[in-house]
Amino acid sequence: MSSGGFLYNVLFFIIAIGVLVAFHEFGHYWVARLLKVKVLRFSIGFGKPLFSWKKQKGEDLIEFVIAAIPLGGYVKMLDEREGEVDDSLRHRAFNTQPVAKRFAIVAAGPIFNFILAAFFYFIFFINGEEGIKPVIAAPVVESAAAQAGFENEDEILAVGNTQIKTWQSFRLALIDQGIDGGSLTVKVKTAELRIVERNVPIGDLKILQEKTDVTKLLGFKLWTPEIPALIGGITPNSASSAAGLKAQDLILFINDKPIKDWKELVGIVQQSAGKTLHFIVERDGGQENIQLTPAEKKRGDKLVGFMGAYPEIPEELVNKTKTRIEYSLFGALTRALDETWTFSALTLKVLGKMVTGEAALDNISGPITIATYAGITASIGFLTYIKFLAMISVSLGVLNLLPVPMLDGGHLMYYLIEIVKGSPVSQNFEELGQRLGLTLLFLLMSLAIFNDIQRLIN
């Protein structure tokens, strides 16, 4: 990753975390103010304040802070457990409030994350949804997809009761509905335009324990049309650039082997890392001989060849593989709420499978991976970045509701215990829970950063 790319990723990571944390903390702040609890400070970030200012809000003077470490935030309220409280203000201290009010204030943060996610999804869907058509190629031999009878150019219409419009929605539906194993009913439209149902036998396969993408794991392959071996563009400082390849060159032969399409070209190049290949290309009506040595690039445990060129794809082929879905105002809102609910439930399912050992722990991502995706989605476009923010906001909401001390969910757990037993948990019990929660969060963050570093190495 270049230094420019690194700074770009960091910038959009800070923007993402800043927006999501600010809205989360605003949830706590807004409900606390609504319930007449005295707020002392609203901070985005931890550590040394970079900027701070005070503002009069009704009868309260509240300090607003932007701090140096942008990985969280907090709302400080008047509380007898953190210092002396004047008798005239005791009725406005957080700890003196009825349990229902304390519950509402704490729950407001995660709830506001779900509200923000739904809003971002709405912005995304109201502008129309673009994606790759969920059309499959002939499945991998002896795979679950092959056993189910899938055929070349089957178009996926539904998984169970979930309608499928894009390849990405097909992938998520496989995870969501196949996470517990068993059998999946998939409705397809065949190349002959027949509507049929096929049953995918997942059995006891733990699809989240594998590092392979779920579609590949079950034998599904995305259908792609035959793309001519015509160079659309060259990446600067690449093997193609060094060899003298140019845009609009048509690759005719490699080592005297006729090349019929781009897929065949890529296959030869990937198998020839560091080996010199003899290209014959058609250029300006004539033929040119070119010597090209593919660069070596590590993919998993293998070295693959990389030439640094991309194809010229005719518009009619693009239209055969891409789809666009338009939504009305109500349709976009409904879709946004459904996506927020579905992704929340899926996140919770995946976390549950991790706890029981049925999902690989390397599914956990840390700040480096999130920063990378922040930069990638921002570079693609505003709407893609907005959708990324929606997904992260859902994850933040779900994680904060987990019954882990130090998180909002841990406090809510204490309040539920208080409701059942009729009195607050003891201070010793709460302090023990905080130490346990801090340890769990430290271990979780360590694992997430370890996974990030492993991804960078690979």
Distance CA 42, CA 40 (A): 7
- Spatial neighbors of 242 by CB under 8 A, at least 6 apart, are none
Q: What is the DSSP track for 303-347?
A: EEEE--EEE---HHHHHHHEEEE---HHHHHHHHHHHHHHHHHHH
The whole-angstrom distance between residue 102's C-alpha and the CA centroid of its chain comes to 32
The Cβ of residue 21 has, within 10 Å, a number of other Cβ atoms equal to: 21
Helix and strand tally (H, E) in the chain? 13, 17
Three-class SS of residue 164? coil
Q: Tokens 């989605």 sit at which residue?
A: 377
Distance CA 9, CA 19 (A): 15
Distance CA 175, CA 359 (A): 11
- Spatial neighbors of 271 by CB under 8 A, at least 6 apart, are 304, 305
* Cβ–Cβ < 8 Å for 155, 170: no
25 is catalytic: yes
Q: What is the DSSP track for 368-408?
A: HHHHHHHHHHHHH-HHHHHHHHHHHHHHHHHHHHSS-TTSH
Choosing from 25, 82, 226, 316, the catalytic residue is 25
- Spatial neighbors of 5 by CB under 8 A, at least 6 apart, are 375
CA count, 13 A, side-chain hemisphere, 433: 18
* Cβ–Cβ < 8 Å for 362, 312: no
Three-class SS of residue 41? strand
Alpha-carbon separation of residue 317 from 155, 228, 312, 342, 372 (angstroms): 16, 11, 10, 32, 31
Three-class SS of residue 45? strand
- Spatial neighbors of 326 by CB under 8 A, at least 6 apart, are 128
Distance CA 156, CA 196 (A): 10
* Cβ–Cβ < 8 Å for 405, 431: no
Residue of 447, 451, 417 whose CA lies nearest to 433:
417
| Residues marked as catalytic | 25
